[in-house]
Amino acid sequence: MSVQTVTFSDSSEEWQIYSKTEALVQAAVAYILQAASATIEARGAFNLVLAGGTTPIAIYKQLAQLSEAEAQFSKWCLFMGDERVYPSDHPERNSLAAEQAWLKNGSVPSEQIFFMPTELGLEESAIIYRDMIEGVHFDLVLLGMGEDGHTASLFPGHNRKDVRGVISETQSPKAPNERLSLSYQRINSAAKILKLITGSAKFEVTQLWYQALQTGKLADLPIAKISGRQQTLTLLDSKAFLG
Ligand SMILES: O=C(O)[C@H](O)[C@@H](O)[C@H](O)[C@H](O)COP(=O)(O)O
């Protein structure tokens, strides 16, 4: 497996660039399992925040192959970083993708899965989810990135950095208009962040972000404004990094 590690002098971010997307997926699964095992060892449970997008689906499919002995899924609690306001069986729901790729196998007990109930509408689901995650410590947050540098449903130019819990987005530039998202503050309160960036469509924005990091600046992109308390790791495939 060919992997290149990049660190930056003025940032605690670490980037790992994989020549093949499949290798990135394997590395992400290994990282998640390692975080789960260390956290379960330390405090008996593991709180993981899932993401939408295609890269996480490949990861969920790998997790679905693992046994309780390998992963201790009975100690995992799952949350969602953002959700689109659609009925629960809509094909564009992040929760449906996670269920189909992984959770329908029942490895994580259903009472330990805390997804955003956006089928109830934006306002009500925001109230419910804010309460649901109140006081919850996130051990690891998975995040993808859109071609405009958005992550979760935090979009460029929608400055909501003062919000503590969840953000109700009503003017998403990407369908649907209405989305619910963990806020910057809530994501940044997590111990660890794993950013997953794949595909050549991400090249331009990745370059902007990379050049800013290299010159000690913070790019004006949502993905660049996210960092975990303990660790922020970004996995990229060579298509995203090199075009
Ligand atoms: O709701 C969204 O806008 C997407 O879920 C988005 O946040 C996603 O994470 C990125 O577009 C990366 O997607 P890929 O993993 O498919 O590159």
Give pLDDT tens digits along the chain (243 positions).
Answer: 689 999 999 888 999 999 999 999 999 999 999 999 999 999 999 999 999 999 999 999 999 999 999 999 999 999 999 999 999 999 999 999 999 999 999 999 999 999 999 999 999 999 999 999 999 999 999 999 999 999 999 999 998 888 999 999 999 999 999 999 999 999 999 999 999 999 999 999 999 999 999 999 999 999 999 999 999 999 999 999 999
Whole-angstrom Cα distance, residue 66 to residue 210?
Answer: 35
**What is each CA distance from 19 to 8, 30, 196, 200, 213, in whole angstroms?**
20, 17, 14, 12, 21
> Ligand 1 center to residue 150 CA distance, Å?
8
Query: Is the bond preceding 91 in cis, omega lying within 30 degrees of 0?
Result: no
ipTM of the complex: 0.91
Nearest residue CA, atom 13 of ligand 1? 53
Atom of ligand 1 nearest to the CA of 84: 1
In a mutational test of the pocket of ligand 1, which residue from 24, 54, 241 has the highest number of ligand atoms less than 8 Å from its CB? Answer: 54
Domain extents in the chain: 13-240
Domain 13-240 has CATH 1.10.10.10: no
The tokens for 49 are 């925040």
Which residues contact ligand 1 via a Cβ below 6 A?
51-55, 144-146, 150, 174, 198-199
Of ligand 1's listed atoms, the one at least distance from the Cα of 202 is: 17
